[in-house]
Structure 1
């Protein structure tokens, strides 16, 4: 089955002119066909408007589009003075911060290619990426990240300059290879004085088909691959964002996911160029929920793990409440679930139902949304991994509009999305404008759009494998499209389990349902070529520890917690509850708990906190063998 979403030739969305023609080029936003031209236009039109905020010494400070453009210009010209040429790759190894965006745009405006490295990557992983991308200029945030560079076995000989953002602890650092950011700014200012107008001239030289960024996939198998995305790819993604997301002029956003991932790069670096929204940088991954309350954004995009964490926190708060509070929350949830059911069926509540829902909002949910920082939220987006439909329904119950979308690095995260007035629970939405969808004979979802990437760097064979003979992108995901064009994802081609009895099972739905339990953080279903299904389960540390304290379960550390009889029984009850929702052949016969806390530094997890099935099965083979 194939579905096509036509793109109008000319329209205005949220006050932004979209000049486009499906099948014709170039695509333009506000008359700009490249990211750098759009960036310049925004800075010229509204130099004094707030572009982003960052917290310093406990106070949120504002930075304008003029600040943004000026610092990007100094960086771009400073790098040119050091020898950067068009097409050179600049790698950024830093947490999210305003300088990340300055470097990103400064490099792209000068015709370079910006790329990011996850701060959780090891020295060997960093060395691989620097070598694979032929990187000449590396930006590191601080001493910790510089140490990774210094630990690379061969010294990364291709890297000519390392630019350091923070000098704390590095005052004694010397050597021509190292340069602090302030010195780069000075070089840029001097080079600008000697070459007036060069920055703007380089912007004019950029073309839609030029590679603008290199995204290294955090894939679950093999070494990362560098996906080459052009200006045109991202301009097309911006179209989808403008038409489907609540990114409006002046809207507040919170940036906290890694900017080297396409999901956050779109949301916090590129969509705001068109929408003129305001990006607030979270202080750290540990302060995300505090910063969310402070900012109270109109739009908030996150991976399922974050939405699951918020849900878990609410359940803990409910458990810690007084008897009266717990009863009030339970009654409110009944009314909220009724609201969610009515919304899903497109029905309006009757007067009595409206009264119950209104009372739940007034007495419970309004305060809850304020406590979470979601009281102004117009649209929450979940992406980068599957989210449980039951979790989406729970958010609707408390009055928080969360919509699931679908995309991947190779199509600039621009594929499908649910949106207000056009959604179906359990689906990932309809195709975005200009995106064609089809389902291949083997069930694979395939896409065709101007957002489809140029290919993998240095990997022509892998690139060829990723596209069909007639030019469609092979996503590797399995799904179906209904009569209204809503896409449903049922699993991954490579993850299909064929049991010893010959039954084909896609584990994604079972895993998703397990993760809805606030005691389960993640799960991997096992059973390929085996008689029955089993599961490796990661418990949610915070919730299970709370359970253990409440029920006086004695443990000394995380590993001992997973081995207690009470926790084993708790998770067994959760597994048995999920089993009731599936056919006998799809039910989990046994499980084991992973007894170590996993982080993105571990091989089992990607930087976006997705379990790597192959690594998990290999590393925990002994646990798996026990179950068979």
Structure 2
């Protein structure tokens, strides 16, 4: 049955033909230099690589892995894999060797492309014996079976392969806040459905610019950067490194940017490091001057051209949204899952209601089941989990709705508000259930709390574990500020939800040490196993705010 929208490769061929000389990808190559690739140049390289892949004579629909940080050739390889009739399997660029081995083995990867990476020697032992490796430009030093020059030596394919909407396009392994990652299977139709409808929401087009910095192997960046660029014609700029991020941002001056709450908080902390919070607050309140100050702050960040600012993966503290509004920028929340191509709900420009995510995306059906779970169905819903029919049956209802695992509610206009995760809800020793996410979101509005995790399973009352931002302040004054904030937050909670105390932990929570997923979500199981032995002792202390010894 024909589909009412175009599929990714079809749209790419159209752009390749219509404006071949227009810049598509802008890649930093070190020393402040960049490489610009036009649509025609990207297409030529993808077609050469597709020829080389075809020459391997692999079975149609073979799984080809890609391990790389974001770069121009990540997208080019993805296109080449599809043109050759295969399925792309992207991996996070900071996995352990054991995790690399698990994904490559589970996905039955026939080949693996190796791109820009920070610590390839730590990952390399995870590549199973007999799986050929192909090095991409900007790849680390190492011994690889083939290199990109070998692929470019092939003549480009002359046909325009057109996979069917029902064909498998990619297997995206979830980052996993608990347990082993699952392989989410998406068809070309699912990608096309989400990209076609999503690209119509914000009026973005060929004059717009994107900055790619969150992992492209994650569904959000895959859709908002790779697919959005193909479907709207935007130019994609890549970030070189964490150290050059602000320079990269200012170079791109993106007109559209997707971030997670931690990124938007980092921007705010960067501003406060240059101008004290109270002084900025005073300046923003001044008539006439306040608007200019807000624009100047955004310009300093490289965000002055931003027309579409989106945030997903976790709720954004309302105080942070209000802060950006005062600068003159509406940060709009989006909601989705890997299993739905990241396509579910989005706040529309000019319709922001703090505390509510927004309306369903076009073509998305929503229902709340009797237990309060949000369930969604659309053309972007996954085919299932690779080699896991039992988990697929648990996640997809008989009538095709995706069980999100999120509790939520809808208002009369259809806007969605999340109230917690079904599986994260815990029971205190008093037999009362507590949903941690809304409490964490409220606590995170304190300017110094960078990350927070509320725990309390089996405890008399919940406690909050937090990591503070690195801004100089005496502990006594900070303790008093946190005590006041805890009291204020507790007053707005039901009695059984009120926190016994806040504990400032001495660790930093990062992707590298396993406390965060690659999309900067906290791993509750890691946090609870790391600090769990102290919970009872801490809860018996009399202080409302204490520092981990």
**TM-score over 0.5 for the pair:** yes
- Give per-residue Cα distances to partners, 1:139-187, cap 9 Å, x unaligned: 11258554245423xx6135134435446644xx4xxx6111112222x
Deviates more, 1:528-537 or 1:439-448: 528-537
Q: Does 1:232 align with 2:189?
A: yes
Q: Does 1:85 align with 2:59?
A: yes
Q: Does 1:530 align with 2:487?
A: no
2:363 corresponds in structure 1 to: 434
**Pairing 1:104-253 to 2, within 5 Å after superposition:** 104-141=78-115, 145-152=119-126, 156-157=128-129, 159-166=131-138, 169-170=141-142, 173=143, 178-186=145-153, 188-189=154-155, 192=156, 197=158, 199-200=159-160, 203-204=161-162, 206-253=163-210
CA distance in 2, matches of 1:52, 1:445: 37
- What is the Cα deviation at residue 289 of structure 1? 2.5
More helix by share: 1
CA distance in 1, matches of 2:175, 2:117: 24
What secondary structure does 2:275 align onto? helix
CA distance in 1, matches of 2:405, 2:175: 15
Question: Which of residues 429, 437, 450 is equivalent to 2:379?
Answer: 450
Larger-gyration structure (1/2) = 1
Q: Does 1:313 align with 2:270?
A: yes
**Pairing 1:231-380 to 2, within 5 Å after superposition:** 231-319=188-276, 327=279, 329-334=280-285, 356=287, 358-362=288-292, 364-380=293-309
Question: Which of residues 503, 508, 514 is equivalent to 2:437?
Answer: 508
**Pairing 1:17-96 to 2, within 5 Å after superposition:** 25-28=2-5, 32=6, 34-56=7-29, 57-96=31-70
CA distance in 2, matches of 1:37, 1:145: 36
- What is the Cα deviation at residue 71 of structure 1? 0.8
Q: 1:84 to 1:185 in 2, by over 3 A?
A: farther
- What is the Cα deviation at residue 590 of structure 1? 1.7
What secondary structure does 1:582 align onto? coil
Q: Does 1:585 align with 2:496?
A: yes
What secondary structure does 2:343 align onto? coil
1:625 corresponds in structure 2 to: 536
Are 1:54 and 1:61, in contact at CA under 8 Å, matched by a contact in 2? yes
What secondary structure does 1:377 align onto? coil
RMSD between aligned residues: 2.1
- Give per-residue Cα distances to partners, 1:543-567, cap 9 Å, x unaligned: 2xx22xxx4xxxxxxxxxxxx6665
What secondary structure does 2:244 align onto? helix
Q: 1:600 to 1:83 in 2, by over 3 A?
A: farther
- Give per-residue Cα distances to partners, 1:457-509, cap 9 Å, x unaligned: 11010011001122211000000011001011111000112223333321111
Runs of 4 or more above 6 Å deviation: none
Are 2:176 and 2:517, in contact at CA under 8 Å, matched by a contact in 1? yes
CA distance in 2, matches of 1:42, 1:85: 29
- Which of 1 and 2 has higher RCO (CA within 8 Å, sep 6+)? 1
CA distance in 1, matches of 2:318, 2:139: 46
What secondary structure does 1:606 align onto? coil
What secondary structure does 1:477 align onto? strand
CA distance in 2, matches of 1:247, 1:284: 26
- Give per-residue Cα distances to partners, 1:204-223, cap 9 Å, x unaligned: 3x100111111110121110
Q: 1:82 to 1:379 in 2, by over 3 A?
A: same
What secondary structure does 2:199 align onto? helix
Q: Does 1:403 align with 2:332?
A: yes
Are 1:93 and 1:145, in contact at CA under 8 Å, matched by a contact in 2? no
Q: 1:48 to 1:142 in 2, by over 3 A?
A: closer
Are 2:210 and 2:255, in contact at CA under 8 Å, matched by a contact in 1? yes
Question: Which of residues 91, 99, 103 is equivalent to 2:77?
Answer: 103
CA distance in 2, matches of 1:418, 1:38: 26
CA distance in 1, matches of 2:423, 2:141: 46
Q: Does 1:381 align with 2:310?
A: yes
CA distance in 1, matches of 2:395, 2:24: 37
Deviates more, 1:515-524 or 1:128-137: 515-524
Are 2:381 and 2:402, in contact at CA under 8 Å, matched by a contact in 1? yes
5+ long unaligned stretches in structure 1: 1-23, 321-325, 336-355, 552-563
CA distance in 2, matches of 1:161, 1:391: 44
What secondary structure does 2:442 align onto? helix
Q: TM-score, normalised by structure 2?
A: 0.93
- What is the Cα deviation at residue 263 of structure 1? 0.5
Q: TM-score, normalised by structure 1?
A: 0.82
Aligned residues: 538
CA distance in 2, matches of 1:306, 1:422: 23
CA distance in 1, matches of 2:362, 2:52: 39
- What is the Cα deviation at residue 627 of structure 1? 2.1
CA distance in 2, matches of 1:134, 1:55: 33
